[in-house]
Structure 1
Amino acid sequence: MPLLVVTGYPCSGKTTRVEKIINCFNAKHKDIVVVNDGQFNGFDREVIYGSSRNEKNLRAFLKSETQKHLNKDTLVIVDSLNYIKGFRYELHCITKAAQTPHCVLWCDIGKDRALELNHQRSKDKYSDKLMEELIMRYEEPNGQTRWDSPLFILQIDNDLALEPIEDALFKSKPPPPNMSTVAQPLQATDFMYELDKVTNETVKHIVNCQRSAMPGDKIRLPAGGEVELMRHSTLAELNKIRRQFIVYMKMNPVSDCSQLSTMFIQYLQTSLL
């Protein structure tokens, strides 16, 4: 199920909007999990947001909780300042890996109005200094970037239009995963063993044969096939090529291990030109 990232200045009405969203979606029998600052152990606004290290720990907690709850059955709502675009990008990457839709709700408010609403609070107030710092740090969402899209902007005095948000969360296609998050095909059980064995034996055989061979001679290999000796190569050079080949084969495994020798010979021949 999808992810809703709520962002905005302090005192911009984020939690109030989240409560309305929860009431609406609960009526439609949606499973919802809210991840917020208050769930962080020992949370204190002045302590957490007053220290970059503490704030980093808070973001790590929010990210971890989001990853833990994001699944095919649950709508996850991250109710926090979420003011750093890099963090919103990280949350976006989580949804790509989970192949689930997401959207951003920006509770927009002017600086003066936010300060005014903070002063009107009877409890849970931000200090004036911290308010000024958080407002200055805020990186506004940009609907042109993929991690802030689709973006819904809601002014403090406007009504919340739930239908477009619902469409974005439940009726849109999930983003395609990054190639780095796509599971690689399973390798044969003995693939890595055979890969290491074949390449190691081939390198050792070439080194031994070079002692009596001349450039231009062809060296017949134990596993079949032959390599034309264009020049003498050091053990270090051959092992470097061997390691490069192993890395390549890990990314492009084959099901038939009998092909490894031929493939390595071709790779060697090309690399030694």
Structure 2
Amino acid sequence: MALITVSGYPSSGKSSRAAQVSEYLQARLAAPEYDGPKLSVEVLSDDVLSLPRSVYNESHSEKPARGALFTAMQRQMAADKILIVDSLNYIKGFRYQMYCAAREMKLRVCTIYVVAPADVCREWNASRQEGEAYSTETFENLLMRYEEPSSMVRWDSPLFTVLWEDAEIPGEGIWDALTKGVVKPPNAASLSVAKAPTDALHVLEQTTTGMVSNIYAEASASGTGGPVVISLSGGLKIGATLPPRNVTLAELQRLKRQFVTIHKKAITLGSTEKGRVDWDEESIGRRFAEFLEEHLKS
């Protein structure tokens, strides 16, 4: 239904504000005058995922931690839930990634920017118990790298700023954004990518290797080109037309390598091309036959 991204300096009070937002939303949903769909409110945070503050000490530990947060967010987003992501969320590129994921799910979004001066954050961080505080070096590094949200960019909008000295959150504005805001459709950057089956690479390699052997045998037997029928496993047969000349094994193998290289990328990264997401033996065979016909003409 909606995604709320909480962002701010380390130790700026983000978790307290996330709790306030959660309590406010739950109260509104439980109010007698509310007649909308049944919704739940959940908070996802580093603490919920048992990610210690020390993961931010090094980039090699921070990156997988951020990946774990994003994966958990994707898993928990739903049409019947308001999900509050309480983390640093200090990188604008990561906030954009979260925004795209929400659009893909057709969720409303908003960002809550928790603002506190750096000196106040330092004081609050120093007052935390051991294991709950950022190291001094990490804290200062995160302050320097923080990328402030902006209402001028779509992935941070609508943006609600909450100062460290504010007693209340802008609950009414947040509620309106989550219940009345425009649900933006997925764009090209957030379209689902059709993934290939796990055995697609094996089928690709096996099918093309077998076809090269069959085609070379047919070409050697005829010597004049023309139509050939290539047998695949399970009694499948693929037709192809060879050029009126000798076709060498070397050029067939070269074209096979090109074809496999091109399609390995589609298998690994996924493909959004309509009609290009079938990776069974027959589909690969037909595509390879077409590829050979086109490139053997010259």
- In the superposition, the TM-score normalised over structure 2's length comes to 0.65
- The alpha carbon displacement at 1:5 in A equals 1.2
What amino acid maps onto 2:215 in structure 1? I
Shift of 1:129: 5.3
Distance 2:57 2:282 in 1: 61
TM-score of the aligned structures, taking structure 1 as reference length: 0.70
Partner residue, 2:44: 35
Contact kept, 8 Å, 1:66 with 1:78, in 2: the verdict is yes
CA distance in 2, matches of 1:71, 1:86: 23
Aligned equivalents of 1:180, 1:80: Cα separation in 2: 22
Give the total of aligned pairs. 263
The Cα shift of 1:95 comes to 2.4
The answer on 1:137 being equivalent to 2:148 is: no
Distance in 1 (CA, whole Å) between partners of 2:265 and 2:138 is 51
1:153, distance to aligned residue in structure 2 (A): 2.9
Q: State the distance in 1 between where 2:284 and 2:11 align.
A: 63
Give how far 1:184 is off. Answer: 3.8
Q: Residue type matched to 2:119 in 1? A: D
Aligned to 2:112: 105
Determine if the alignment matches structure 1 residue 153 to structure 2 residue 161.
Answer: yes
Q: Name stretches of at least 5 consecutive residues in structure 2 with no aligned partner.
A: 30-38, 230-237
- C-alpha contact 1:96 1:178 (8 A) present in aligned 2: no
Equivalent residue for 1:239, pick from 256, 259, 268 = 256
Q: Which amino acid aligns with 1:176?
A: P
Cα root mean square deviation, aligned: 4.4
Q: Assess, with a 3 A threshold, how the Cα gap between structure 1 residues 179 and 268 changes in structure 2: closer, same or farther.
A: farther
Per the alignment, do residues 204 and 33 of structure 1 end up closer, same or farther by CA in structure 2, a change over 3 Å counting?
same
Q: Would the aligned equivalents of 2:240 and 2:293 in 1 still touch at CA under 8 Å?
A: no
Query: Structure 1 stretch 91-100 or stretch 241-250: which is displaced more?
Result: 241-250
User: Could you tell me how far apart the structure 2 residues matched to 1:61 and 1:261 are?
Assistant: 38
Q: What residue identity is the alignment partner of 1:114?
A: C
- Aligned equivalent of 2:243, options 228, 237, 252: 228
Query: Does 2:93 correspond to 1:78?
Result: no
Deviation, structure 1 residue 77: 0.9
1:88-114 deviations in Å (ceiling 9; x for gaps): 344334324434333221112332343
CA displacement at 1:7 relative to structure 2 = 0.8
Mapping of residues 121-136 of structure 1, within 5 Å:
131-136=139-144
Per-residue CA deviations over 1:225-273 (Å, capped at 9, x if unaligned) read 633235533341343365468769985257xx99987765543222122
Partner of 1:271: 295
Q: Which runs of 5+ in 1 are unaligned?
A: none
- Does 2:21 align with 1:4? no
CA contact (8 A) 2:100 2:186 kept: no
